[in-house]
């Protein structure tokens, strides 16, 4: 049995949930979320440009199914092909 080293549980996110930058450009699809951050997959060309490890940026997670948006300051922890891991630095929510 392996020991779980994560501080927060990760939850799968519906396919239509997207992460966009301040200009509204899509960075990728949010696939997992937890108390410490999010994982993006299907990184777009804009996401490839912006999501470099160590970089901090502000993004908004759009959840159209419940008409909600969550804006967060994040730091890119890793990028592996079309997947990226982002750590929350600060966040606020609106909607729902």
Contact 63/46 with Cβ under 8 angstroms?
no
Number of domains in the chain: 1
CA distance 92 to 96: 13
By three-state DSSP, how is residue 19 classified?
A: strand
Domain assignment of residue 76, given as a range? 11-95
pTM: 0.84
pLDDT in tens, 7-26: 778 878 888 999 999 999 99
* pLDDT score at 57: 96
Is residue 5 in a domain? no
pLDDT in tens, 27-65: 999 999 998 999 999 999 999 999 999 999 999 999 998
DSSP string, 59-95: EEEEEGGGTEEEEEEEEEEEEETTEEEEEEEEEEEEE
CA distance 89 to 74: 5
User: What CATH number does the domain containing 82 carry?
Assistant: 2.40.10.220
Is residue 6 in a domain? no
Q: Is the pLDDT assigned to residue 72 strictly greater than 70?
A: yes
Is residue 4 in a domain? no
């Amino acid at each position: 049995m392996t020991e779980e080293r994560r501080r927060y549980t990760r939850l799968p996110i519906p396919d239509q949930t997207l992460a966009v930058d301040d200009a509204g450009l899509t960075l990728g699809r949010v696939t997992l979320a937890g108390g410490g951050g999010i994982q993006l997959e299907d990184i777009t060309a804009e996401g490839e440009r912006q999501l470099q490890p160590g970089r901090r940026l502000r993004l908004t997670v759009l959840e159209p199914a419940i008409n909600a948006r969550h804006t967060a300051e994040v730091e890119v922890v890793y990028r592996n092909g079309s997947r990226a891991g982002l750590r929350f630095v600060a966040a606020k929510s609106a909607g729902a």
